[in-house]
Structure 1
Amino acid sequence: MPLRHLTPRDQHLFWQYGRGADVPVHEPLVHRAIERHAIVTPHAVAAEHHGATLTYGELDRYAGALAARLVREGVRPGDRVGLFARRSIPMLVGLFAVLKAGAAYVLQDIGRTPPAQLADVIRTARTRVILTQKEHVPRVPLPLPGGHRLIALDDPAPYDPGPVPLLPPHPDDGCCVLFVPGTAGRRHGVQLTHRNITNLLLTEPGGLGIRPGDRVAQLLGIASGPAVWEILGCLTRGATLAVRGTDTDTGTAARAATVLIATPAVLAGIDPAGCPDLRTVAVTGEPCPRPLADRWSRRTALLHCRGPAEATLATTVGRRTPAAGRPLPNGTVYVLGADRRALPVGETGEVWVGGDPVSAGYLGEEALNAQRYAPDPFLGEGRVMFRTRDLGRWTPDGDLEHLGRPAGRLGPPGERPLLRLAGERTAGTVTVTR
């Protein structure tokens, strides 16, 4: 019994505070949730950018034809496809097409990412196909590895229809790959599965109450984790994605939005008085300063979302303070101390995450996976938990208080702690599979 060292009261609170609600997810595949809106409301606007619009019917039709092209090129469930583009409607078509083909998309902003970094993404993700826009083809690092194909998103040819059967992926297959910072400038590819993403987006509060007729602003860097939340959170719920016009123009898209996902830095540059229709704001990426949080919470529902990409972008979501929140549905959050033993309420330890939010691990990083992922002794049944390396503690009223990653206590991404928690031992090798 992994909790036998705790008092009966703390054993009860371990589960009461640390376990999110058990909520069924009605659609375990991301693209199927989007396709439903194309069937029910084909003329509803899925996205708008620079005055151009794309309906759900058009998005489904264009992406279906491109998905057939990808399948003819050999793309199969479990594969990864590079999507090197700028924020645009063709980018959205490419993203949806990759999912329809059963593969995971690897999105990079080709206008901002250096060619050497793109080449590293290709190697790490072991992509089969690269999708881009014609004007950006010269920025794709050439020569591509053997067997690769380069397809222009805005070339009419990819949209030629063809009777190609599309093989459905499994919910535990990859949906997208996010590259997160590591040590010495190195980046690690984190694979999020369909199960990870649908658990966040199709339950509450991660769904942010988005519904048809809403407008969700797409403001953040398209290769970032929160951009997954913006884009797929909008499209899986049948709303309209208002894509930011330029890299510096956040205000225009935000002013007409009803739902906004933003980092504190982006939020600080927007006047809440100029967003009359805004209903919900999710602040993510880093703690929101209290004055900024107070400024926005007076006008809208403000959600504080804390968590890394490896735990599907949000470990906890809270309303009351920027530093506290509660686990999302179908997920667990543990505060562990020495030897990964559960700590009583009020004691500070490392925050671990379990359940459906736990990602499928780092691509090609077995040693790092062994450090950061471990068998979950609390859920059992072959489940895996993820070590955030952040410190936290449970408050008496059941919020997880996030205490950050103090310098001198925990090292940078990919490293063991500089000072171990008392009694901690090195983990054995863990193979992360979903």
Structure 2
Amino acid sequence: ARFSLVENREETNYPLTVFVETAQGLTVNFAYQGWRLSAKLVAQLATNLARLLEALQSQVDKPLGHIQLLDAQAQASVQQLGVGQQQVLPQQDALALFEQQAKHTPAAIAVRNEHNAQISYAELDERANQLAHGLLAAGLTAEMPVAVSMTRGIEMILAILAVSKAGGVYVPIAVELPDERRDYICQHSGAKLALTNTAMAFADEVTCLNVAELSFDTYPQSKPSAVRHHDQLVYTLYTSGSTGLPKGVAISHGNLLNFLLGMQQQLGLKGAQNALALTSLSFDISGLEIYLPLISGGTVTVAQNATTLTPELLAEQDLLQATPAGWRSLLELDLLTAVQGKFALCGGEALPAELVDDLAATGVTLWNMYGPTETTIWSSCYPVTQTPVHLGEATLNTQLYVLDNQLNLCPQRVAGELYIAGAGLARGYLSRPELSAERFVANPFADDGSRLYRTGDLVRWNHQGELEYLGRTDHQVKIRGYRIELGDIEAQLYRCVGVSEAVVVDDDSTGSTQLVGYVSGEQLDTETIGAALSERLPDYMVPALIVVLDTMPHNSNGKIDRKALPKPQWQ
């Protein structure tokens, strides 16, 4: 097949019209609106079609999904769009960089709270050493999980550092989490030790150390002898799972170090950085707020919530991070009156254009951040100068690929699923080999045994080589920055007495994304169902509205028809 670009002055009602004639062989003509499509793009489309038709003739035994639309040069060009800067990581991990900083600036303030209680680098390092010795005395060994369920403050930071110093893996569990979910995380992770500073009760098989009551002076201030390496786990974070049970994402010291060094480079951070730690330890982006200051000699300011903050406190920070919902809260509380020039990182959900305008008015340096927990916090970032906002460039030692369902590279402007490779990829899902194999797949673009992570995000490279977010390929949503599998909530609805069918959808008709649960069955009461969910799920996973239906709509395949569900009626 041979094609040539045909000048066509006829008017067309479509951006692109393709005419196919078979009277004398095969002739394909392209008519397009020049104000919407460039001649270069249309020529590329014609080339791709010619390549496909030629391959169909010459590669008759090859599966259709294995035929490449792009030639080698075009593949190399589109593949290069997603390659971040490459660098060999140093031998020291993030904890070692903190320990080095403690020696360099021992009197500097490492952590404080909004009420100005504070601890120096030297004291934080020494107390973390003492607690680490306490954990070792309690039987902690390398890569043993330790549940950390703490109220927000200096002791929370102390606890996670101590677990790492002792060679363990910290497993964050929010204090407000329902008992059933907390017990499941402990049981599934294998945590036999827990650190807390509350009167929280754990299962009988879990030994609980209350940091607030522990006598630190009984343990040495010297650094424990535990040896760490980059492949050793630093934390396991549980996220929503489609089966109704949360799944544990296992992150290594190397993953965390690569992320932190990448953030310093990408954001152009020099010297000590003060950061506000406002995010729950159970949300992976808290890692940036805690570790980035501690490896640079800055101060971590741990706050309970936005209502305890003041404009003066925010003015002392160099770096602020929140989800779109979090930034709206700070704006509504009028806390961003003295943040000109501060780094403002926004991620966890799509960044709306109106929020960009509101934040720009405060004078912050705004960055849009993107990344799943499985690739260690943020995998790409973009300094926002205009809308629409895109996902930005890959971070350090990270590669972004837009692929079809056969793992072929998608041409620019063609939608595909985002796959991520590189030094940020988690070890996998803890004790879930089948799920790890499904989401972490062999990397066909490398011969070093590396893997790709399937994000489930639908994206495309635009004509300028920018990565645009289009939506999800599954039923996963984000609420207040937390990633939620709707199937997780649906599984809990099915456990409610009388529920025969259940489905959960996200609704943004009120201007913000909220969850709506639809149920059908016998003698159903929405308040009873809501109370049952509150006992089993975190508050951000409990639907804001529960709708009882006489019968659930189904499609021709017998599946619940989400599109036929009635619109929610908000009061």
Q: Tell me how far 1:180 sits from its aligned partner.
A: 0.9
SS in 1 for 2:81: helix
Q: Deviations for 1:50-76, whole angstroms, at most 9, x for unmatched residues?
A: 221011101100001111221222222
C-alpha contact (below 8 Å) 1:334/1:353 kept by paired residues: yes
Match of 1:123 in 2: 187
SS in 1 for 2:219: coil
Q: Tell me how far 1:7 sits from its aligned partner.
A: 1.6
* Separation in 1, partners of 2:352, 2:281: 24
Structure 2 gaps, min length 5:
1-65, 478-483, 488-571
Q: Tell me how far 1:6 sits from its aligned partner.
A: 2.5
Q: Tell me how far 1:296 sits from its aligned partner.
A: 1.9
Match of 2:314 in 1: 254
Tell me the amino acid that sits aligned with residue 153 of structure 1: V
1:397 aligns with 2:464: yes
Match of 1:220 in 2: 279
Match of 1:100 in 2: 165
* Separation in 2, partners of 1:156, 1:408: 45
Match of 1:74 in 2: 139
What is the root-mean-square deviation in Å for CA atoms of aligned residues?
Answer: 2.5
Task: Pick the aligned partner of 2:424 from 357, 364, 367.
Answer: 357
The structure, 1 or 2, with the larger RCO (C-alpha pairs under 8 Å, 6+ apart) is: 1
Q: Tell me how far 1:315 sits from its aligned partner.
A: 2.7
1:344 aligns with 2:402: no
* Separation in 2, partners of 1:157, 1:275: 41
Match of 2:60 in 1: none
SS in 1 for 2:173: strand
Q: Within 5 Å, which residues of 2 pair with 1:39-78?
A: 39-49=103-113, 50-78=115-143
Match of 2:296 in 1: 237
* Separation in 2, partners of 1:159, 1:326: 48
C-alpha contact (below 8 Å) 1:82/1:122 kept by paired residues: yes
* Separation in 2, partners of 1:281, 1:274: 13
* Separation in 2, partners of 1:407, 1:339: 17
Task: Pick the aligned partner of 1:173 from 232, 240, 243.
Answer: 232
User: Given the superposition, is the C-alpha separation of residues 409 and 338 from structure 1 closer, same or farther in structure 2, using an over 3 Å criterion?
Assistant: farther
Task: Pick the aligned partner of 1:263 from 310, 323, 331.
Answer: 323
Q: Tell me how far 1:255 sits from its aligned partner.
A: 4.0
* Separation in 2, partners of 1:408, 1:71: 42
Match of 1:287 in 2: 350
User: Greater shift after overlay, 239-248 or 17-26?
Assistant: 239-248
SS in 2 for 1:371: helix
1:14 aligns with 2:78: yes
Q: TM-score, normalised to structure 1's length? A: 0.86
Structure 1 gaps, min length 5:
416-434
SS in 2 for 1:270: helix
Q: Deviations for 1:126-173, whole angstroms, at most 9, x for unmatched residues?
A: 11311111xx23x22231x2xx42111122424533378422222011
Match of 1:160 in 2: 218
User: Greater shift after overlay, 153-162 or 202-211?
Assistant: 202-211
* Separation in 2, partners of 1:348, 1:192: 29
Q: Deviations for 1:176-221, whole angstroms, at most 9, x for unmatched residues?
A: 1111112254211111111111111112457744555432111122
Match of 2:150 in 1: 85
* Separation in 1, partners of 2:393, 2:459: 12
Q: TM-score, normalised to structure 2's length? A: 0.67
C-alpha contact (below 8 Å) 2:320/2:344 kept by paired residues: yes
* Separation in 2, partners of 1:188, 1:248: 31
Match of 1:325 in 2: 392
Q: Tell me how far 1:379 sits from its aligned partner.
A: 2.2
Match of 1:431 in 2: none
Match of 2:177 in 1: 113
